[in-house]
Chains A and B, each alone.
Chain A
Amino acid sequence: MHAIIRWIRADLRARRGQALLTVCVVAGVVTALILSLTLLAGALDPWEGLFNRSHGAHVWIHARAGTDLAPLAHMNGVTAESGPFRTAVATAVQEGQRAPLEVRALGSRLPDVGRPILAKGHWLDPSRPDGIVVERTLARVLRIDVGDRLTVHGLDGARHDLPVIGVADTSDQGPYPAWTPGIAWVLPQELTSIEPTSSHTELLEGLRLSDPSATGFIVQQVVTTLGGDHVDRVSAWPQVRASLEVDSRLLGLLLGMFGVVALVAAALAIGNATGGRILSLLQDIALLKALGFTPAQIRWMLLLEQTGLGIAGVLAGSLIGSVLTDSSLSHSLFGSVTENATAPLSFGRLSLIAAATVLAVAVATLLPAWRGSRVSPTSTVSAEPPGGRLSRFARAALLMRLPPALVLGARDAFTRRLRAVMTVGGLAIPMLMVTIALGCWSTLDNFENHPEQIGLAGALTARPVGLGGDEARALIAHDPGVKTVYPEAEVDALLPGQTRTIQARALGSSQAPYPFPVRDGRLYRAPGEAVAGQGLLDLLHVHVGDRVRLTISGVPVIVHIVGRTIEPTLSGEVLSFGMDTLEQSVGTSPAQSYSIVLRHGAKPDTVRSRLLRESGDRLDIQATQNPAQRLGIVRVVIFGLIVVLTLIGAANLLTATTVGLRDHMRDIVVLRAMGLTPRQVTTTLVTGTSVLALIAVVTGIGLGLAMSTRLIDLQGRSSGVGAGIGRAPTVFDLVVAAATALVLAALTAFALARKASSIDVRDVSRV
């Protein structure tokens, strides 16, 4: 309808600032949603992005040298093939670390199917004939980068020092060291140099299928076609994908929660803004009705205006979000934080986010629009004067000669209840969420700074290579940076009912136990006692204090669970006891590795290189992985969320202050007539808003502190890691947040008050 559009156009022109802010808030929320869902998708399903970008092969076949692989390409269901490539087995040795290697010969042109994706440096190049490109997870474990030299030992023992010219990702197999051997690529001539005996090489071929679900069938076909004795190994994409999955529950819930929270907060902000706007429009709406607008038209008008702004915001946010998550850009922005490259969201998912946001905006506008349409066309709306008498408190304050402007301002804050509620609510809720977000940040900081509190007291793990157990232990304990050494063995324990196995960890001894962070119960003290992670307790449906019967290496063992620890690995489904428990039940078994707890202040890298030197490279020493690194993307999301919440808080503040100001218009004239100077008038307004902001900040932070640790522990418990990981935000963080909010509130009030105090008396009194 022309009339409706005319009104909307005029209204938007009249309040450009507020409209722009609404669009920004919506755009911010949509961008945040796109980012978090992209990262979520990348974290939950890192394989998919990688597979698509590498145009991956569904099946990989390792066949004996000389096998005729031609028939594979013509098999039913195969759409494309990759290779065949020659591969050779070798060992990489780097700073005492040995890594089994599969070296693949590829040309300088990347294949179409199963293409390695270059992350750093460049690909194989004839100008560097001995250049080697290393797969990324292998490079990370070996701690090598482009420009370093990698020592490769061939099967024949020959040693090759190859310059690393690039690092690449592949979707062929899971991450090293979970999946061995590590992968590296060289030019064919170099492969021949590493492995001159051609019968020691293998052929590698990848197949891309038209129907990925038919993988099992195809694999059978391949083995049949080539002959079982020619096929060494076949791997299929489901295995690769499974190995790339991160512990998704915690992450998924966190990110999902943030997304929903952002949407809800934005909806509240917009509802608030619309409600506030409509309050100031009541007079106009009455007149519109007098002109002949029906209530339905009024509703449509308001809804259309807000939804239009929402759509503009969604489009802007979608554009920004898409640009940010575009492969190359997101890789440089987030690649350092995520382990795997992220894939941009599909169009379908983007549309879903867009639709959900527009819907949220529309719903948030419904109630204010409906209330607005109910205004009587004959009402002459004037701001309700504040309720009457000065309270005793205010009177006393005035008597005490407190500045009247401050007293009036503070009193004014409470007499207009609607405005007070709007201001407090609009600021307290974002404050609450910011506090929870800061709590998550602190928790992550705690993971990094105090790994012993989440069960990662041992900063290093050593595996002896060609060294006796006692000798290894003595050598490690001798190091000045080492505090304690705990022998460790991991065994599979069969659950009662023979349904599945769980990881049982023998660590230290019962007399000198590993410093597990026990949250319920106590640490084991005698053989036969154990502690378990929350995940295990849930799995076995037992509680601390129960006894469990397991079968280890065929021997039934009864274990008394005396405590619950925080268990960050394997979703908490781990049972831990002393080595002597293992010896007692199953018999003596040598320690597989040694967990090393360092002295306070000792640096893991220094101790590691020292131990490597001392042991003559006969110890394989790895640093324990901290989940905080894996959860690095959560930090990005937290930061983004705090930005969005700040935007929302600012929008709410603007709304509340504008509404409050409108009420004030007439008061300003009266106040000035009473003799208050313009500065005092401004102070009145600023004080009013600041008092309310203070209440909001205190309420928000208070509630947030109460909820934050509890929520995080809830997440921890449900993910199996266990309750007790939550940490409250630091005092510094809270002070900064509170100060920012208060300053923002005061500034907003000040800016608007300045504008108001210069309003011409005539304009106001005519109204």
Chain B
Amino acid sequence: MRSLLLAPITGAANRTALINRQRRHLINLMRGLTEPAAERDNPIAVLLVEGARSHLQAGLDWLQRCQEEPA
């Protein structure tokens, strides 16, 4: 994540690659979370998953903001 902030120094093309990689990572993380179906019966587990989801979504939204920002 921190490397993203250094992106202006490293160059635009690289920045795109960085963003892409981070996005894929976040989505794959989310995929990993939803795989186990057992969590649904456990309310605490549901809350935790929900918390994790919020973080991942926030990350994704922030990535989008970074993408929009011109170099």
Q: A contacts B directly in the complex (CB < 8 Å)?
A: no
Interface residues of A (CB under 8 A from B): none
Interface residues of B (CB under 8 A from A): none
